[in-house]
């Protein structure tokens, strides 16, 4: 169906991307030419590609892993094959063997970071693959390499055949020429035009062309890659359950990350080999959604609640030790407290915002952090992943007076500490 996206179309698009994948140019590169090659292949601004790599690098280094793989798997403009393929003896590459080995070794810690980074990096890699798929689907017809120089063809694998009329010296030998006609045809009984005797008789009906047999549609064999990948995911799941008894690392988020990584690798391998693995998408999508939810929201916060919490205590004794919300916002106003004594409290929000106002002349020591979001902490501001600010401020009157110690944090959202 036109315009629809099916598992078969995804597989065909990824296979076509691999067959016509970009080449790394010598001009316009900043490091290895991966971003410049993608920009040239799809005729887009290379700045956009570089910004995308930087954004993916913030997903626990997913952009770094993708760039290293591009360096290994994309050939330079004048090379026969990529550096990784040259290492396997499939052609010539100008990348030194030592550098290729070092790049391969660099992928190993990057992949380990992929596992240690949890689901954030898994999501970054899946987002990168999805972006490549959409880019090739929308602009893959632009600037396509010639078949003779496309990856996987020709000198990059194409067979060299002998053209029609080729032979020794490019000419047909005398023995191979057809014997000349000596009897005039019916349309030239006087033999006046022997140079045209090889033309067909006028009015002669064309020779019937035999009808070609109907094509036989071969039945697609069962997906061995899909079955093997599903089995590998079950082994990983069983191993993770056993390992969880010995290590705290194997909690739900990391186990889901491992499963999605295995299933995603199986889908890529199945697409490249052309023998299935498309059905794994029905496992990858729901596991990804569950993993993102588990990673974004902290379900271990004490006194979980939904909605908003607001408090404005008037005495030091009225300040609670902890203010929490699983989803929503917490607003704590300490400006009504007297200018003496000491207050220590924490504000924790899973998904939402945490805002605290402190007196203008209080001595404040505050620890602000968010796993993903923004921090506004007594004049210090930052946005992004893993933001953390520690501030000690004595207020407008200098040291002395009310002492306030705060720990304000969110898993996903906004943290703000300001003076009243």
Report pLDDT digits (tens) over 65-94: 888 888 889 989 888 888 888 888 888 888
- So what's the pLDDT on residue 202? 61
Q: What is the pLDDT of residue 149?
A: 43
Question: Given pLDDT bands bounded at 50, 70 and 90, which one contains residue 359?
Answer: very high
Q: What is the pLDDT of residue 415?
A: 94
Among 116-125, 259-268, 334-343, top mean pLDDT goes to: 334-343
Model confidence at 311: pLDDT above 90: yes
pLDDT of residue 170: 40
Residue with the larger pLDDT of the pair 202 and 154: 202
Q: What is the pLDDT of residue 318?
A: 93
pLDDT at position 161:
38
pLDDT band at 159 (very low <50, low <70, confident <90, very high): very low
Q: In what order do the strands lie in the sheet with 363-377?
A: 306-311, 322-333, 342-358, 403-419, 363-377, 380-393
Spatial CA neighbour of 23 closest among 67, 93, 82, 94? 82
The pLDDT score that the predictor gives to residue 209 is 58
Pairing between β-strand 322-333 and β-strand 342-358 as defined by DSSP bridges: parallel
pLDDT at residue 347 in the model: 94
The residue ranking higher by pLDDT, 195 or 126, is 126
Contacts of residue 233, Cβ cutoff 8 Å, sequence gap at least 6? 259, 262, 263, 266, 283
At 417, the pLDDT band (50, 70, 90 cuts) reads: very high
* Residue 33 confidence (pLDDT) above 50: yes
Confidence of residue 53 (pLDDT cuts 50, 70, 90): confident
Asked if 363 and 401 count as a contact pair (C-beta separation under 8 A), the reply is yes
The pLDDT score that the predictor gives to residue 196 is 63
Q: What is the mean pLDDT of residues 334-340?
A: 91
Q: Give percent of the chain with pLDDT exceeding 90.
A: 17
233-287 residue pLDDT tens? 888 888 888 887 777 777 777 787 778 778 777 766 665 565 556 677 777 777 7
Whether 352 shows a pLDDT value over 80: the answer reads yes
Picking from 258, 251, 204, 250, the residue whose alpha carbon sits closest to that of residue 229 is 258
- Confidence at residue 200, expressed as pLDDT on a 0 to 100 scale: 61
SS3 letters across 340-375: CCEEEEEEEEEEEEEEEEECCCCEEEEEEEEEEEEE
Q: Is the pLDDT of residue 167 over 70?
A: no
**Helices 34-42 and 46-57: crossing angle, nearest 10°?**
130
Mean pLDDT of 394-408: 89
Distance (Å, whole) CA 122 – CA 253: 11
Mean of all residue pLDDT scores within the chain: 75
Q: Is the pLDDT of residue 190 over 70?
A: no
Residue 388 in 3-state DSSP? strand
Nearby residues of 191 by Cβ (< 8 Å), 6 or more positions away: 184
- Angle value at C-alpha 387, between 382 and 388, nearest 5 degrees: 100
Q: Domain locations in the chain?
A: 7-139, 224-296, 306-419
Beta bridge partners of 418: 357
Token pair for 418: 């300001």
Say whether pLDDT at 386 is over 50: yes
User: What's the distance, CA 106 to chain centroid?
Assistant: 18
Mean pLDDT of 386-410: 90
Q: How does residue 384 score in pLDDT terms, banded at 50, 70 and 90?
A: confident
What are the structure tokens assigned to 287, written together? 């596991």
- Supply the pLDDT for residue 19: 84
Of the chain, the percentage scoring pLDDT greater than 70 comes to 66
What pLDDT is stored for residue 173 in this prediction?
43
- Mean pLDDT value across residues 111-120: 51
Half-sphere exposure of 401 (CA within 13 A, CB side): 17
**Given CA atoms 139, 141, 144, 150 in this order, what sign does their dihedral have?**
positive
pTM: 0.38
């Amino acid at each position: 169906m036109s315009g629809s996206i099916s598992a078969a179309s995804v597989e065909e698009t990824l296979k076509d991307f691999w067959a016509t994948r970009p080449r790394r140019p010598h001009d316009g590169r900043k490091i290895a030419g991966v971003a410049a090659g993608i920009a040239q292949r799809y005729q887009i601004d290379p700045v956009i590609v570089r910004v995308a790599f930087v954004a993916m690098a913030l997903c626990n280094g997913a952009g770094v892993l993708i760039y290293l793989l591009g360096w290994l798997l994309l050939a330079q403009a004048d090379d026969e094959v990529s550096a990784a393929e040259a290492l396997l003896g499939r052609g010539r590459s100008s990348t030194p063997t030592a550098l290729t080995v070092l790049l391969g070794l660099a992928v190993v810690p990057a992949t380990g970071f992929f596992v240690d980074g949890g689901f954030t990096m898994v999501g970054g890699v899946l987002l990168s693959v999805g972006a490549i798929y959409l880019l090739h689907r929308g602009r893959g017809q632009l600037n396509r390499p010639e078949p003779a120089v496309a990856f996987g063809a020709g000198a990059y694998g194409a067979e060299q055949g002998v053209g029609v009329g080729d032979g020794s010296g490019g000419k047909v030998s005398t023995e191979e020429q057809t014997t000349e006609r000596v009897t005039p045809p019916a349309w030239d009984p006087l033999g006046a035009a022997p140079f045209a005797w090889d033309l067909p008789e006028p009015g002669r009906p064309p020779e019937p062309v035999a009808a070609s047999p109907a094509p036989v549609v071969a039945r697609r064999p069962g997906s061995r890659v899909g079955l093997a990948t599903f089995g590998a995911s079950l082994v990983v799941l069983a191993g993770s359950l056993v390992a969880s008894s010995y290590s705290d690392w194997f909690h739900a988020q990391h186990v889901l990350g491992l499963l999605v990584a295995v299933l995603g690798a199986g889908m890529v391998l199945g697409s490249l080999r052309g023998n299935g693995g498309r059905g794994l998408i029905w496992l990858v999508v729901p596991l990804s959604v569950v993993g993102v939810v588990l990673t974004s929201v902290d379900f271990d916060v004490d006194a979980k609640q939904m909605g908003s919490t607001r408090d404005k205590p008037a005495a030091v004794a009225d300040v609670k030790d902890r203010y929490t919300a699983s989803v929503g916002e917490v607003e704590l106003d300490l400006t009504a407290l007297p200018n003496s004594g000491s207050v220590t409290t924490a504000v924790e929000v899973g998904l939402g915002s945490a805002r605290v106002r402190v007196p203008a002349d209080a001595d404040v020591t505050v620890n602000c952090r968010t796993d993903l979001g923004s921090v506004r902490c007594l004049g210090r501001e930052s946005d992004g992943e893993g933001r953390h600010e520690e501030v000690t401020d004595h207020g407008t009157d200098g040291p002395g007076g009310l002492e306030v110690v705060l720990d304000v944090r969110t898993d996903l959202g906004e943290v703000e500490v300001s003076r009243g």
